[in-house]
Amino acid sequence: MGSDLGPSEVVAAAKLALDEFPDLSPLTLVGDEALLRQLAQEAGLAGHPKLAFFHASEVVTMGDKPLLALKRKKDSSMARAIELVKNGEAGAAISCGNTGCLVGAGILKLRTLDGMDRAALAAVIPRANGHFVILDAGANPEARPDHLVHNAIVGSHYYRLVFGVERPRIGLLTIGTEEGKGNTLVTETHEMLKRLGDLIHYLGPVEGFQLFADEVDVVVCDGFVGNICLKSWESLAKFFVTELKAGLLANPIRKTGALLVRGAFTELRDRVKPERYGGAPLLGLRGNLIKAHGSANRQALKNAIYDASEMIKTNLTRHIEADIARANDLIGLVAR
Amino acid sequence: MGSDLGPSEVVAAAKLALDEFPDLSPLTLVGDEALLRQLAQEAGLAGHPKLAFFHASEVVTMGDKPLLALKRKKDSSMARAIELVKNGEAGAAISCGNTGCLVGAGILKLRTLDGMDRAALAAVIPRANGHFVILDAGANPEARPDHLVHNAIVGSHYYRLVFGVERPRIGLLTIGTEEGKGNTLVTETHEMLKRLGDLIHYLGPVEGFQLFADEVDVVVCDGFVGNICLKSWESLAKFFVTELKAGLLANPIRKTGALLVRGAFTELRDRVKPERYGGAPLLGLRGNLIKAHGSANRQALKNAIYDASEMIKTNLTRHIEADIARANDLIGLVAR
């Protein structure tokens, strides 16, 4: 039913996406149908051939607990959108809602792909000369080595889809890049990743100090480390901007200067704020699911809609499943 | 023998510390004695009553492996400085050298305090309205719950020493602050920390997004998570500054503005760059040991010298040992 900015922002995003991308997959808005139809009419989208509506009477809130929400709010917009994917009526679902509920509902309703036990949330982060993707950003806090190997595969596919890089550089996040350093999970994962051969472009272990330099495209870690990193980076960026702002307003001369350089700050803020990026896909499921930021604006949501459309068109899940099967063979993993 | 800036920077730091702090503990410079004596003379420190020298013929380099360096370079300045602490000839040792070697040598030569199995590296990080300390920053990448409980105790003591806060707020770094979220290590640690009662001011679990706001003083985590966080924050700060700089030089108007606001950038850079902070102590050993940043300048080293002096004067290790004994009683940990 929408981000913190409400359902009208979602409708505005639909309008932007439908206008900008003529080849976009058809779009279904899930939620309070009467309200959505009214907002669509106001946005000039009434009767648009690619726009449909699906009614859902409930909304999952930020305070809901994942399992309870799934049980008690069977007619939530989140649950209904995922069910459309499950039933083949939609190729992808996008939600700005409660991450825990979305991850839980996605895994329970869509289930993981053959050969995979866990799904991973992938987040796009700006760095020198572009972006990297870190995964898992929080879906699976207690990962096994094979889960991390799967993260490397799905991350590689996702980076290729979003940034058009044929062989993205994959790094395993650790401390100390000499082999054998890190922890048991990383050491075992590293041995498995080396066995994948040409399936991915595996660089080896990477350290925290390499992330924001242009050294690695896909950063593989467990959901505990990934979520802490992601949230602490947002916190640090906010701190940085706040401190700088205070410094720029400290005296009249600086205030004058600040006016002249304002554009540089706007550019940087736009570049580092998470709202800029469409969303974080939950990869490894039998269907496409994107978690958009809670405060996503129409631009961010438009990007998420475009990404979802590309996932459908490129058959992302099938390609992932094929590579997972090959990877499991190479690492000697027997399907359970 | 000194930071990347060489032994003359260490001598300059000794001069600054001896001049600024009349109550400073006596100082011994460990390394190439002839060179150090010459540099001290040039700095006007010849015959200073609080300055001594201890000769060491070797230097541990950044490329050395911890265990090999300990075996092969028995007369390194790093090993000798730690031995002075072990033998009671010094109350604390400071080194800018190879972190892995320093942590290894510190643990092997000084050994952990009674009741503790692991030492933790504590790093001071700037945040809104002050600083937080994160530990472990990399000494113990595979921690047990009792190790994290000990991190909370030693971190509390260190924060009090450096920032004069009587009851620093302790947070357990995790994902999702509801009880039960996170991973097994965090869940078990949380249960133990709750049993400590008034021994520390335990806030409960904290998430990444809280770190750079003024919400927590001591952030407890394992050395894997802590080291990745620390290094990725340095990487992000560097990226941020580089991007901003490029934006500020993008056109003549911004260049003019940039000159007017230069002071704000210098202030922020000074505030966020790690060189500003004296060093990261390795806490939990039978003696005080401080790892200074590899690129530490005289100001940073002066601060490290002052911190070391305060550790000695306040009997930091004895207070820690007493609280560890009480904590072990409360969590039911039997000494091994």
pLDDT tens digits for A30-55?
A: 999 999 999 999 999 999 999 999 99
What single string gives the DSSP state of each residue in B274-302? GGGS--EEEESBSSEEEE--TT--HHHHH
To which residue do tokens 């205070």 refer? A246
Residue B19: closest CA among B31, B27, B8? B27
Residue A335: pLDDT over 70: no
Greatest mean pLDDT among A34-48, A54-68, A242-256, B292-306: A34-48
Residue B51: closest CA among B17, B94, B96? B17
- Which of A142, A261, A263 has its CB closest to that of B261? A261
pLDDT of residue A336: 52
pLDDT band, very low/low/confident/very high, at B1 (cuts 50, 70, 90): low
Residue A3: pLDDT over 90: no
Cβ–Cβ gap B212/A227 under 8 Å: no
Single-letter code of the amino acid located at B182: G
pLDDT band, very low/low/confident/very high, at A279 (cuts 50, 70, 90): confident
End-to-end CA distance of chain B: 37
Q: How many whole angstroms separate alpha carbon B16 and alpha carbon B26?
A: 14
Residue B220: closest CA among B278, B270, B286, B154? B154
Q: How many whole angstroms separate alpha carbon B257 and alpha carbon A248?
A: 11
Please give, rounded to a whole number of angstroms, the shortest distance from the CA of A278 to a CA of chain B. Answer: 20
**pLDDT cut 70: percent of chain B above it:** 96
Taking contacts as CB-CB distances below 8 angstroms, the residues of chain B near A224 are 174-175, 182-183, 186, 225
- Which of A240, A247, A261 has its CB closest to that of B254? A261
Q: Which pair of tokens denotes residue A112?
A: 């993981």
**pLDDT cut 70: percent of chain A above it:** 96
Average pLDDT of the residues in A289-300? 90
pLDDT of residue A99: 86
Cβ–Cβ gap B183/A225 under 8 Å: no
Sign of CA dihedral B295, B297, B303, B307: positive
Cβ–Cβ gap B254/A264 under 8 Å: yes
Interface contacts (A, B; CB < 8 Å): 194
Please give, rounded to a whole number of angstroms, the shortest distance from the CA of A177 to a CA of chain B. Answer: 12
pLDDT band, very low/low/confident/very high, at B2 (cuts 50, 70, 90): low
Please give, rounded to a whole number of angstroms, the shortest distance from the CA of B68 to a CA of chain A. Answer: 14
Q: How many whole angstroms separate alpha carbon A206 and alpha carbon A170?
A: 9
- B1/A157: higher pLDDT: A157
User: Residues, chain B, total?
Assistant: 336
- Which of B178, B229, B259 has its CB closest to that of A229? B229
Residue B273: pLDDT over 90: no
Any idea what DSSP says for residue B146? H
Taking contacts as CB-CB distances below 8 angstroms, the residues of chain B near A139 are none
Residue A217: pLDDT over 80: yes
Check: CB of residue B14 under 8 Å from CB of residue B40: yes
Cβ–Cβ gap B261/A265 under 8 Å: no
Tens digits of per-residue pLDDT, B176-187? 755 557 889 999
Tens digits of per-residue pLDDT, B97-149? 888 889 999 999 999 999 999 999 999 999 999 999 999 999 999 999 999 99
Taking contacts as CB-CB distances below 8 angstroms, the residues of chain B near A264 are 244, 247-248, 250, 254, 258
pLDDT of residue B65: 80
CA distances from B260 to A250, A253, A318, B157, B273 (A): 12, 6, 56, 42, 22
CA distances from B301 to B10, B14, B292 (A): 7, 8, 7
Cβ–Cβ gap B263/A272 under 8 Å: no
Single-letter code of the amino acid located at B161: L
Helix (H, G, I), strand (E, B) or coil at B232: helix
Single-letter code of the amino acid located at B302: K
Please give, rounded to a whole number of angstroms, the shortest distance from the CA of B234 to a CA of chain A. Answer: 7
Residue A96: pLDDT over 70: yes
pLDDT of residue A295: 83
Q: How far is CA B232 from the centre of its chain?
A: 17
Q: What is the ipTM of this complex?
A: 0.92
Q: Residue B173's beta-bridge partner residues?
A: B206
Q: Residue A55's beta-bridge partner residues?
A: A31
pLDDT of residue B178: 58
Q: Across chain B, where does the E strand assignment appear?
A: 27-31, 51-55, 92-95, 120-127, 130-135, 169-174, 201-207, 218-220, 280-283, 288-291
CA distances from A42 to A30, A39, A46, A52, B85 (A): 17, 5, 8, 15, 76
Check: CB of residue A195 under 8 Å from CB of residue A241: no
- Which of A127, A224, A247 has its CB closest to that of B239? A127
Cβ–Cβ gap A209/B234 under 8 Å: yes
**pLDDT cut 90: percent of chain B above it:** 74
Cβ–Cβ gap A232/B254 under 8 Å: no
Please give, rounded to a whole number of angstroms, the shortest distance from the CA of A173 to a CA of chain B. Answer: 8
**Strands ordered across the beta sheet of A92-95:** A92-95, A288-291, A280-283, A120-127, A130-135, A218-220, A169-174, A201-207
Cβ–Cβ gap B184/A234 under 8 Å: no
Taking contacts as CB-CB distances below 8 angstroms, the residues of chain A near B229 are 208, 228-229, 232
Residue A267: pLDDT over 60: yes
Residue B321: pLDDT over 60: yes
Taking contacts as CB-CB distances below 8 angstroms, the residues of chain B near A103 are none
**Strands ordered across the beta sheet of B120-127:** B92-95, B288-291, B280-283, B120-127, B130-135, B218-220, B169-174, B201-207
Cβ–Cβ gap B239/A128 under 8 Å: yes
Average pLDDT of the residues in B223-231? 95
Q: What are phi and psi of B289, to 5 degrees?
A: -140, 125
Sign of CA dihedral A231, A217, A96, A61: negative
Taking contacts as CB-CB distances below 8 angstroms, the residues of chain A near B235 are 208-213
Beta strands A169-174; A201-207: pairing state: parallel
Average pLDDT of the residues in B165-173? 97
Taking contacts as CB-CB distances below 8 angstroms, the residues of chain A near B248 are 261, 264
CA distances from A72 to A65, A76, A87, B200, B215 (A): 10, 9, 21, 40, 34
pLDDT of residue A90: 96
User: Residues, chain A, total?
Assistant: 336
pLDDT band, very low/low/confident/very high, at A80 (cuts 50, 70, 90): very high
Check: CB of residue B289 under 8 Å from CB of residue B281: yes
Q: How many other CB atoms are there within 10 angstroms of residue A58's CB atom?
A: 18
Taking contacts as CB-CB distances below 8 angstroms, the residues of chain B near A265 are 244, 247
Cα A117-A208-A206 angle, rounded to 5 deg? 65
Check: CB of residue A221 under 8 Å from CB of residue A125: no
CA distances from A300 to A3, A10, A14, A161, B115 (A): 11, 10, 11, 17, 52
Residue B200: pLDDT over 80: yes
Cβ–Cβ gap A232/B211 under 8 Å: yes
Please give, rounded to a whole number of angstroms, the shortest distance from the CA of A320 to a CA of chain B. Answer: 27
- A268/B80: higher pLDDT: B80
Average pLDDT of the residues in B192-203? 96
CA distances from A64 to A68, A195, A275, A310, B74 (A): 7, 42, 23, 31, 60
Residue A107: closest CA among A136, A144, A149? A136
Residue A325: pLDDT over 60: yes
Q: Tell me the average pLDDT of chain A.
A: 91
Check: CB of residue B285 under 8 Å from CB of residue B111: yes
- Which of A182, A238, A264 has its CB closest to that of B141? A182
B285 burial (CB, 10 Å; 0-12 / 13-18 / 19+) is buried
User: Can you say whether residue A12 is alpha, beta or left, with left for phi > 0 and alpha for psi between -120 and 50 degrees?
Assistant: alpha
Average pLDDT of the residues in B277-283? 86
pLDDT band, very low/low/confident/very high, at A59 (cuts 50, 70, 90): confident
Cβ–Cβ gap A138/B175 under 8 Å: yes
Average pLDDT of the residues in A117-126? 94
Q: Tell me the average pLDDT of chain B.
A: 91
B7's enclosing H/E stretch is helix B7-20
Residue A178: pLDDT over 70: no
Best of A103, A186, A235 to mutate (most B CBs within 10 Å, chain B): A235
